[in-house]
Chains A and B, each alone.
Chain A
Amino acid sequence: MILNIIINYNLFFLLWQLGFEVRLLLKESREVIREVGLAILPITFFVVILQLFFLDLPLASLGRFLFGALLVSLGLFLFLQGVRVGLLAMGEMVGAEMLEKGNIVTILLITFVLGVAITIAEPGVQVLALNVDLVTGGELSNTLLVWVVGLSLGIFLAFAILRIFLGIRMGYILAIGYAVIIIFSFFTPANFVPIAFDAGGVTTGPMTVPFILSIGLGVTSVLPRRSEMGDTFGLMGLASLGPVLGIMLLGVLFN
């Protein structure tokens, strides 16, 4: 009896202590739940259609898929919620402080470090790396791939910020970047080309996009000249060229 009271009391005490964290976990979570639900819907639909009409997967596989889908949904919910309550606040803080204090070199340096740090934590990048690791039998390890993608995105993000300061037109740089990628692709070992292009696609996700946009908005707000809309947007497009070139370069070095 007394023991029970102590246990209950301690549990309550703990919960009370954790109230802050729990509130954060639930803060405006309805929208995130809807988001995750909507994302899992087409996949489930696809699998059901396939199973009903075309495939005959064993029940164990379907159960496995369901288990995976549950974990993936729960994980994505926690991840998105964590990014929203914590990591975005951090992005805004860094953006604001850096512009208040820093000169252009500091800004570029911080952008680079931040670019690397957020990319290696991006779910899409991790998934690509897992798939590549699996298919190549570990020859191209996921850790190596994740870091190459992160570093090259960091470099290009800093470059994209520099472009805003120099006021070069977005369109020209994108056109040149695409042309360089096409030319590079002919010199890259063939088995690295699809992975390289995919790397450009997966770097843009729920982690990187809000971070990069908040940095971009911060930078344009302190620009001496009047900024055009093309300044803040388009950062993502330019930054994601980095990993494509990075993986192509890795391919050249690897062979």
Chain B
Amino acid sequence: MILNQLWSITREISMALAPLVIFFLLFQVIYARRPWSFVRQVLTGTVLAAVGLIFFLFGVQVGFMPVAREMGAGLAALQRPFLLMGLGFLFGLLATIAEPAVWVLCGQVERASGGYIPEKLILVVLSLGVGVFVALGMGRVSFGWPLYFLLIPGYILAIILIFFSTPTFIAVAFDAGAVVTGPMIVTFVMSLVVGIAGAIEGRDPILDGFGLVALVALAPILSVMILGLFFERKERD
């Protein structure tokens, strides 16, 4: 059973990385003609990445996913939605602070604002933003709000903010959406929420289980643009 899973993941990953390798080799032969040591380095990196992905997904499939589902079921049985929201907030906060890519981003924003927005402030705002959105996501699955209720207003707010922000802030904000959703957080949170949705009576694991990653990606977009707006006004005064 477990070996079967391992084998199917291995096959899947080999297929997922094959196009990249073929592309690279064709490119090397037709255009680039880099030295052998370079080719060897790239191929070694690809093999490392492939083995890493296999371990990663195997761990997800045999460890994270089943246990997160079990935990989700246990959490659903508690029937304390506000506790769930509080824990979600805390988790979002911690996960953002612990993500190194976020620190890099905060440095970028500080530079984009010409030093006007201090790095620490962005980190705080971003983490609070992600915390709030994970809490909202937990609330959504507990109370059964449709995803539209949260995402559509969020998207509309993002569109409105675009028209009031400078190109630099727009660009940094939308890239920030990419930074927060690291693979580990995505994996754990997604499996947990799918578990909760599967365990609460009347929730559909497809309808209510997915969507949290989208919410988490929206949080930094909104918080960076709002922050930029706020500080630009201050700068003008």
- Contact surface of A with B, Cβ cutoff 8 Å: 20-21, 24-25, 34-36, 38-43, 45-47, 49-50, 54-57, 61-62, 64-90, 93-94, 97-98, 101, 110, 113-114, 116-118, 120-121, 123-124, 126-128, 130-132, 134-136, 142-143, 146, 169-171, 174-175, 178-179, 181-182, 185, 190-191, 193-195, 197-198, 200-202, 204-207, 209, 228-238, 240
- On whether the beta carbons of A86 and B49 are closer than 8 Å, the reply is yes
Please name the 5 residue pairs, one residue from A and one from B, whose CB atoms are nearest each other, closest first: A86-B45, A68-B63, A237-B174, A71-B59, A78-B52
Chain A interface: which of B115-123, B146-154, B226-234? B146-154
- On whether the beta carbons of A190 and B20 are closer than 8 Å, the reply is no
Closest A residue to B80 using CB positions: A54
- Contact surface of B with A, Cβ cutoff 8 Å: 12-13, 15-17, 19-20, 23-24, 27, 31-32, 34, 37-38, 40-67, 70-71, 74-75, 78, 83, 87, 90-91, 94-95, 98-101, 112, 147-148, 151-152, 155-156, 158-159, 162-163, 165, 167-168, 170-175, 177-179, 181-188, 190-191, 194, 198, 204-214, 216-217, 221
- On whether the beta carbons of B194 and A126 are closer than 8 Å, the reply is no
Q: Given the complex, which residues of B lie within 8 Å of A110, measured CB to CB?
A: 27
- Distance between A124 CB and nearest chain B CB, rounded to angstroms: 5
Q: Complex formed: what's the CA distance from A62 to B67 in Å?
A: 8
Q: Complex formed: what's the CA distance from A181 to B151 in Å?
A: 11
- On whether the beta carbons of B63 and A86 are closer than 8 Å, the reply is no
- On whether the beta carbons of A174 and B16 are closer than 8 Å, the reply is no
Q: Given the complex, which residues of B lie within 8 Å of A87, measured CB to CB?
A: 20, 42, 45-46, 49
- On whether the beta carbons of A76 and B16 are closer than 8 Å, the reply is no
Q: Given the complex, which residues of A lie within 8 Å of B87, measured CB to CB?
A: 46, 49-50
Chain B at the A interface: SS class: helix
* Cβ-neighbour of B186 out of A25, A98, A124, A134 (below 8 A): A124
Q: Complex formed: what's the CA distance from A47 to B63 in Å?
A: 13
- Distance between B197 CB and nearest chain A CB, rounded to angstroms: 9
Closest A residue to B191 using CB positions: A131
Q: Given the complex, which residues of A lie within 8 Å of B101, measured CB to CB?
A: 209
- Distance between A63 CB and nearest chain B CB, rounded to angstroms: 9
Q: Complex formed: what's the CA distance from A77 to B181 in Å?
A: 17
The 14 listed contacts between A and B (C-beta, < 8 Å) are A24-B41, A56-B74, A61-B67, A67-B62, A71-B58, A79-B53, A124-B183, A124-B213, A198-B212, A201-B177, A204-B217, A205-B183, A233-B174, A236-B178
Q: Complex formed: what's the CA distance from A200 to B212 in Å?
A: 11
- Distance between A61 CB and nearest chain B CB, rounded to angstroms: 5
The CB with the most chain B CB atoms within 10 A, among A123, A124, A135, is that of A123
* Cβ-neighbour of A174 out of B61, B174, B181 (below 8 A): B174
* Cβ-neighbour of A93 out of B34, B52, B58, B95 (below 8 A): B34
- On whether the beta carbons of A175 and B63 are closer than 8 Å, the reply is no
- Distance between A192 CB and nearest chain B CB, rounded to angstroms: 9
- Distance between B72 CB and nearest chain A CB, rounded to angstroms: 10
- Distance between B18 CB and nearest chain A CB, rounded to angstroms: 9
The CB with the most chain B CB atoms within 10 A, among A45, A69, A194, A237, is that of A194
Q: Complex formed: what's the CA distance from A57 to B112 in Å?
A: 47
Q: Complex formed: what's the CA distance from A130 to B5 in Å?
A: 12
Once A65-B64, A198-B190 are accepted as A-B contacts, the answer to whether A170 and B171 lie under 8 Å apart by CB is yes
Q: Given the complex, which residues of B lie within 8 Å of A42, measured CB to CB?
A: 91, 94-95, 98, 185
